[in-house]
Amino acid sequence: MPVVNFFTEDVKYTLKKKTVLKKWIKDTITAEGYKLDELNFILCSDEYLLRINQEYLDHDTYTDVITFDNSEELKTITGDIFISIERIKENASTYKHTPETELHRVMIHGTLHLLGYKDKGKAAKTQMTEKEDQYLALLLVEGPE
């Protein structure tokens, strides 16, 4: 059974519209020709994500998102996406978005990485941003849960 899960690690954060977000993520995966197995979003602190960045990626920098692809089958998504709530809030202020909008952008960004999109280099970054915008436009967070 395909599943999208939301967890918190060392932060207090209440994610709104979980049912809507789950459907949106599943619809994105399907639209890209993939099948969902399991996708976990882990919302955490800067320090928590920094430790993951240092331990697993050998990077000593803060970041907003780290995606781990645990897929064992082609075109099947199994993964973990760690998101720093502190980075989300700071980036939202920098880019003049609401924190919720920035969180949604980072959620879809991590999902797009699992779908094979890259963000290194100008052309890849442009394509990634276009895809983010495309799927963000399909997210309807208004209305009932």
pLDDT tens-digit readout, 59-81 = 999 999 999 999 999 999 999 99
Task: For residue 1, give the 3-state DSSP assignment.
Answer: coil
Q: What percent of the chain is modeled with pLDDT above 70?
A: 96
With left for phi above 0 and alpha for psi between -120 and 50, is residue 96 left, alpha or beta?
left
Q: pTM of the predicted model, to two decimals?
A: 0.93
Identify any residues that bridge with 38 across adjacent strands, giving them in sequence order: 3, 78
Neighbour-count burial for 108-139, b at 16+ CB within 10 Å, e otherwise: bbbbbbbbebeeeeeeeeeebeebbeebbeeb
Helix (H) or strand (E) holding 79: strand 76-84
Number of H-type helices and E-type strands within the chain: 5, 4
The predicted pLDDT at position 144 comes to 44
Query: Residue 141 — pLDDT band, cuts 50, 70, 90?
Result: low
Whether the Cβ atoms of residue 8 and residue 48 lie closer than 8 Å to each other: no
What are the tens digits of pLDDT across the range 87-129? 999 999 999 999 999 999 999 999 999 999 999 999 999 999 9
Strand 3-9's sheet: what is its strand order?
Answer: 3-9, 35-44, 76-84, 65-69
Residue among 70, 65, 57 nearest 81 (CA): 65
